[in-house]
Amino acid sequence: MNVKILVMGSLNVDLVVTASHLPQKGETIIGGLFQTHPGGKGANQAVAAARMGGKISMVGSVGKDAYGDQLCRNLKAEGIDICYVNQIEEMSTGVAVITVDSEGQNTIVVASGANFTFSPENIISARDAFTGASVFVTQLEIPVPTVLEGLRLAKQNGAVTILNPAPAQNLPDEVFGLVDYLIPNELELSMLTGETNQKTAIQQLLDKGVQTVIVTLGSNGAVIATRNSIQMIPAFQVDAVDTVAAGDAFIGAFAIGISEALSVRQAAILASAAAALSVTRHGAQPSLPWRSEVEDFLKKH
């Protein structure tokens, strides 16, 4: 099934350095390997979905610079439609500076650049991209008013909507009523609601209008919650070397599962397998698995 999935969000270049441990405040450490990778939550999720077999269109902004050119070439090479990726003359392309420790944990600082010039007006100009999309995916590395406009347009066009609320921040209540699947991790769930109790936080989001909340719990799996049920998805046990983009692998694969009319549980299992594979590799987009790899992994596990 080749159903169109529309991903709206950030495009960054990731500057990644490995280190024995993550630096503390005021600490200088000697790092190891340095690599440059295409990244940004929006682009990562688009690539994750494309490698899982989807027909993907990307909406977003980059600078008219070498990094912007590099990101556009990379998306095209992945088979992603970039007709609605703006290259902006006066802005730099977004950059993420990432440190990864020996256990695969990371810290990330993002200089958003062109991502934060991506306005609701840009969405209105790109409204043709929403035509025929069955699933719409977005995140919070672009301005919240732009996210809101994208969700409105997606619902008007009959798409299923997925919001990955990362990085977590305050959102207008209207956002929640436009979201079919809200997929935060544990920290984002707490920051989004101000609640430390997981059940209370989930219920708050459901009460605000979200149809389904899926909380990713890393090595502890995931929780799927609706107004009528709550269920656990166990994690696949693997040796993690780099957790960058694990959430993006999950979101991209989940979007594919939903577009293929899998049940929510089946889509979440597919997504968990993709995320598990991704953490066994270094980098963001380089770690994202292909559909054949995920299917082989599921047969073995």
Q: Where are the domains of the chain?
A: 4-22+32-300
Q: Is 101 annotated as a binding residue?
A: no
Is the pLDDT confidence value at 83 over 80? yes
Q: Is 16 annotated as a binding residue?
A: no
What pLDDT, on a 0 to 100 scale, did the predictor assign at position 236?
93
Q: Is 94 annotated as a binding residue?
A: no
Query: Which amino acids are annotated catalytic?
Result: 248
Q: Is 141 annotated as a binding residue?
A: yes
Element (H, E) at 14: strand 12-18
Q: Tell me the sheet residues that pair with 17.
A: 34, 99
Residue range 171-175: mean pLDDT, rounded? 96
What pLDDT, on a 0 to 100 scale, did the predictor assign at position 2?
58
pLDDT band for position 106 (50/70/90)? confident
What is the side-by-side order of every strand in the sheet holding 106-111?
34-39, 12-18, 94-100, 106-111
What pLDDT, on a 0 to 100 scale, did the predictor assign at position 241?
85
Residue range 216-245: mean pLDDT, rounded? 91
Average pLDDT value for the chain: 94
Q: Which amino acid is at 227?
A: R
Residue range 120-126: mean pLDDT, rounded? 92
Q: How much of the chain, in percent, has pLDDT values that exceed 90? A: 85
Second CATH level (architecture) for the domain 4-22+32-300: 3-Layer(aba) Sandwich (3.40)
Residue range 193-206: mean pLDDT, rounded? 96
Q: Is 220 annotated as a binding residue?
A: yes
Q: How much of the chain, in percent, has pLDDT values that exceed 70? A: 99
- What b/e string do you get for 72-93 counting C-beta neighbours within 10 Å, with b at 16 or more? bebbeebebbbebbbbbeebbb
* 4/131 Cα distance (integer angstroms): 9
Q: Is 257 annotated as a binding residue?
A: no
Give the residue among 149, 144, 164, 135 at the shortest CA–CA distance from 257.
Answer: 135
Which residue do the tokens 């902006």 mark?
Answer: 88
Contact yes or no for 140/118 (Cβ under 8 A):
no
What pLDDT, on a 0 to 100 scale, did the predictor assign at position 301?
86
Q: Is 28 annotated as a binding residue?
A: no
Cut 0.85: pTM above it: yes
Q: Is 74 annotated as a binding residue?
A: no
What pLDDT, on a 0 to 100 scale, did the predictor assign at position 62?
97
Q: Is 247 annotated as a binding residue?
A: yes
Helix, strand and coil content of the chain, in percent to the nearest 5, comes to 40, 25, 35
Q: Is 160 annotated as a binding residue?
A: no
What pLDDT, on a 0 to 100 scale, did the predictor assign at position 1?
45
